Amino acid sequence: MDESQSTPGQTPINSAPISGSTYADKTFKFGGEYRYVVRAVSLGTEGTQVESLNSNILPVSPRDTFAPAAPSGLSVAGAAGRLSIFFAANIETDIAGYEIYRSTDPNLPKTNWTKLNSALLTRTSFVDDKVETGKRYYYYVKAIDTAGNVSQPSDVVSEIVP
């Protein structure tokens, strides 16, 4: 039997026929493999529904290419010999972690700031104890999701080490 024409046992993903020409599958998962077909439905004799043969198969492998939002709510608090950075957790469900960046020059291009954590930070706070008393430090944070997409930098916060 040619699968592009008729395959028994297929279950529609829509609960009722749709009248438009588009449908959004809200059950898919990034990284999955899907094969979609469409059937037209018309009314036959005595008002019974009659389905057409399948359309051509459309194979789809959705990939997550959407960067998370930039972290928000950054604040920094000073204590003797250290600065603590705090921020709100991202609301996306696929956040793998965060990267913290530091500079002593806020005008330095962000690509030249120093990344402070070698592994992704999985909590929403960070203590920087490699600082000098009386010096001002600037920080920003990026969020990374499980697909490797990286957010834009957060707003920059700064503090002088007490």
Examine the domain organization and report whether 19 and 85 are in the same domain: no
CA distance 46 to 14: 24
What are the pLDDT digits (tens) for 72-119?
999 999 999 999 999 999 999 999 999 999 999 999 999 999 999 999
Domain count, the chain: 2
Examine the domain organization and report whether 34 and 95 are in the same domain: no
Examine the domain organization and report whether 105 and 54 are in the same domain: no
Examine the domain organization and report whether 79 and 142 are in the same domain: yes
Examine the domain organization and report whether 81 and 154 are in the same domain: yes
Q: What is the pLDDT of residue 8?
A: 54
Q: Which domain holds residue 7?
A: 1-63
Q: What is the pLDDT of residue 93?
A: 94
Residue-wise pLDDT tens for the chain (162 aa)? 345 455 555 778 888 888 888 989 888 888 899 998 898 888 888 888 888 888 899 999 999 999 999 999 999 999 999 999 999 999 999 999 999 999 999 999 999 999 999 999 999 999 999 999 999 999 999 999 999 999 999 999 999 999
Kindly state the tokens that stand for 2: 């040619």
Examine the domain organization and report whether 50 and 82 are in the same domain: no
Q: What is the pLDDT of residue 155?
A: 97
Instruction: List the CATH number of the domain containing 113.
Output: 2.60.40.10
Other beta carbons less than 10 A from residue 157's beta carbon: 18
Which residues fall within 8 angstroms of residue 161, CB to CB, at 6 or more apart? 78, 81, 82, 83, 131, 132, 133, 134, 135, 136, 137
Q: What is the pLDDT of residue 99?
A: 98
Q: What is the pLDDT of residue 41?
A: 87
Examine the domain organization and report whether 85 and 138 are in the same domain: yes
Of 31, 63, 95, which marks where a domain is finished?
63
CA distance 162 to 154: 24
- The angle subtended at Cα 58 by Cα 56 and Cα 62, nearest 5°, is 175
